């Protein structure tokens, strides 16, 4: 009998020690950093159970044991808030860091940059190339309806959502800039301001020139002079569907289209691109100037002139530069 008690006691002690050993192993395994030596991106699908998430993390080397992670995570009160999404985990991430990131829905943020001056057709083409966006855009929206900026989104966002945010961004900009516009501008509506801003955007990529270029066009409108903007001629030919791909000819300048400001008076009927914040601001508060003309100067900027004679000299200089640079 005594021998039996000794055996049972030894078994009980061994069981306690074994249980304690398992607990210690589980604790060490749960809190040990993962073996991933580089960041790992994982996409957790909607409806995934905690066990499924644990298995997926283990398969990607982010937890050492799926069962231990599932048990340990279940003891954390945040385990009910683990959400689906695209997550990027740092090297040697810990289980607690994983739970925290999943509970906060700290998903990967993607960005798409829409450069100033793109047409709506070009913007749609750019968004279609973004593989992390979903859904199609069945029709090209109106020109000048969007604010070019860098936009953040998460995987699974739709292309339509980005366009909607760009449209809202433009409306917000209107609320800020339109009330602060200069007095006595030769246009009376926000839509007309966008048309002129789109021309300014296409005429110069030099930030410091935008205000003066806008000032020249404002001066010409006030005097009833035609704007004579080359980008409006190009747009009248392509309607923004693709770049013209060649230099304008004299025939192009004389050929009537609704957008050709060498032929039509005043502004064209709609924008020729989607202007950026700075071009719109320049049009609403143009730099005071007496200049009525400008032409490229060969440095990326423009030479401005008050008189036609001065402008013709600048044009002749520009043509010499062009001829010199021809292959």
Summarised one tens digit per residue, pLDDT across range 25-53 is 656 777 778 788 999 999 999 999 999 99
Over residues 141-149, the mean pLDDT reads: 96
- Spatial distance between the Cα atoms of 174 and 142, rounded to a whole number of angstroms: 17
Chain centroid offset of residue 71 CA: 41
Instruction: List pLDDT tens digits, range 206-261.
Output: 999 999 999 999 999 999 999 999 999 999 999 999 999 898 999 999 999 999 99
Which one of 107, 136, 159 terminates a domain? Answer: 107
Both 97 and 130 in a single domain? no
How many domains, the chain? Answer: 3
Helical spans, DSSP H, in 255-307: 277-284
Both 209 and 281 in a single domain? yes
Over residues 107-127, the mean pLDDT reads: 96
Percent of the chain with pLDDT over 70: 91
| Residue 103, in any domain of the structure | yes
pLDDT at 10: 39
User: What average pLDDT does the chain have?
Assistant: 90
Both 189 and 288 in a single domain? yes
Both 95 and 131 in a single domain? no
Q: Rounded to two decimals, what is the model's pTM?
A: 0.84
pLDDT at 38: 94
CB proximity list for 24: less than 8 A, separation 6 or greater:
none
| Residue 199, in any domain of the structure | yes
| Residue 6, in any domain of the structure | no
Q: Which residue has the tokens 């040990």?
A: 32
Instruction: List pLDDT tens digits, range 154-177.
Output: 998 999 999 999 999 999 999 999
Which one of 67, 87, 107 terminates a domain? Answer: 107
Main-chain phi, psi angles of 215, to 5 degrees? -60, -40
* 209 and 295 Cβ atoms separated by less than 8 Å: no
| Residue 1, in any domain of the structure | no
Both 153 and 237 in a single domain? no
Q: Which residues pair with 41 in a beta bridge?
A: 88
- More reliable by pLDDT, 21 or 263: 263
Both 95 and 130 in a single domain? no
pLDDT band at 23 (very low <50, low <70, confident <90, very high): low
Both 315 and 217 in a single domain? yes
CATH of the domain at 34: 3.30.1490.480
pLDDT at 73: 87
Both 140 and 116 in a single domain? yes
Both 204 and 318 in a single domain? yes
pLDDT at 27: 66
Both 73 and 149 in a single domain? no
Structural domain that includes position 242: 183-325
| Residue 321, in any domain of the structure | yes
| Residue 49, in any domain of the structure | yes
pLDDT at 299: 84
pLDDT at 28: 75
**For the range 67-74, what are the long-range contacts, defined as Cβ-Cβ under 8 Å and sequence gap of 24 or more?**
68/26, 68/29, 68/30, 69/30, 69/95, 69/98, 71/26, 71/30, 72/26, 72/30, 73/99, 74/50
Both 154 and 95 in a single domain? no
Most confident listed range (3-12, 65-74, 101-110, 239-248): 101-110
pLDDT at 7: 40
Which one of 122, 144, 171 terminates a domain? Answer: 171
- More reliable by pLDDT, 19 or 231: 231
| Residue 230, in any domain of the structure | yes
| Residue 87, in any domain of the structure | yes
pLDDT at 21: 55
Both 164 and 192 in a single domain? no
Q: Which residues pair with 112 in a beta bridge?
A: 151
Burial class (CB in 10 A: 0-12, 13-18, 19+), 278: middle
């Amino acid at each position: 009998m005594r021998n039996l008690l000794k055996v049972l006691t030894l078994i009980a002690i061994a069981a306690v020690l074994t249980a304690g050993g398992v607990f210690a192993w589980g604790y060490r395994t749960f809190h040990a950093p993962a073996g991933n030596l580089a960041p790992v991106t994982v996409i957790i699908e909607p409806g995934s159970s905690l066990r499924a998430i644990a298995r997926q993390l283990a398969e990607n080397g982010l937890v050492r044991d799926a069962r231990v992670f599932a048990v340990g995570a279940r003891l954390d009160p945040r385990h009910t808030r683990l959400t689906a999404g695209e997550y990027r985990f740092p090297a040697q991430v810990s289980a607690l860091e994983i739970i925290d990131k999943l509970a906060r829905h700290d998903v990967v943020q993607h960005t798409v940059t829409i450069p100033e001056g793109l047409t709506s057709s070009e913007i749609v083409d750019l968004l279609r190339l973004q593989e992390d966006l979903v859904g199609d855009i069945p029709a090209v929206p109106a020109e000048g309806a969007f604010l070019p900026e860098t936009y953040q989104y998460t995987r699974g966002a739709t292309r339509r959502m980005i366009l909607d945010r760009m449209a809202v961004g433009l409306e917000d900009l209107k609320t800020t800039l339109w009330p602060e516009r200069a007095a006595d501008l030769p246009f009376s509506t926000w839509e007309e301001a966008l048309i002129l801003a789109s021309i300014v955007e296409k005429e110069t990529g030099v930030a410091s020139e935008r205000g003066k270029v806008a000032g020249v066009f404002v001066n010409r409108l006030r005097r009833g002079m035609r704007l004579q903007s080359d980008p409006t001629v190009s747009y009248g030919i392509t309607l923004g569907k693709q770049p013209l791909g060649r230099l304008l000819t004299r025939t192009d300048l004389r050929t009537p289209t609704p957008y050709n400001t060498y032929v039509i008076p005043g502004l064209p009927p709609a924008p020729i691109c989607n202007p950026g914040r700075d071009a719109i601001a320049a049009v609403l508060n143009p730099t005071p100037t007496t200049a009525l003309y400008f032409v490229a100067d060969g440095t990326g900027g423009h030479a401005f002139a008050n008189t036609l004679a001065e402008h013709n000299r600048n044009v002749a200089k520009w043509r010499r530069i062009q001829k010199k640079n021809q292959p």
